[in-house]
Amino acid sequence: MFGLSGEKLLILGLIAVFILGPDRLPHYAQQLARFAKSAKRMADGAKDQLSNEIGEELDWKKLDPRQYDPRRIIREALAEDVVSAPNATALNKPKTQLQPKLAPGEQAPFDSEAT
């Protein structure tokens, strides 16, 4: 929890005892407990409201942004391009009309320079 170990929590508790004193410590501990309970209630309410608005049970693992590794996505996209490249080059060639070979001195029937 926030990188706090049991030893650190114990030290924080001892510091609180010295700063607050034994007479005010129970009051502040009670306030802290109330705050933690209300924060948990708010988080549960937000989660319930979100699931009600979406209308189905959420798979939180699918929504985790850490699963999207840009390097992996690019690598997979490039691998797909390499596999489909032989077929793509044949399909993407521009279609040209074949011109008949002309004898020397002959002009093409639709040559724009001839007119």
pLDDT tens for residues 48-100?
Answer: 888 788 776 667 777 777 778 888 888 888 887 666 555 555 555 555 555 66
> In 3-state terms, what secondary structure has residue 99?
coil
Q: Is the pTM of this model over 0.85?
A: no
CA distance 76 to 56: 31
Please provide the DSSP assignment of 43-68 as one string: HHHHHHHHHHHH-S---TTTT-GGG-
| Number of C-beta neighbours around residue 65 at 10 A | 5
* Residue 99 dihedral angles phi and psi, to the nearest 5°: -95, 135
Max distance between CA atoms of the chain, in angstroms, equals 115
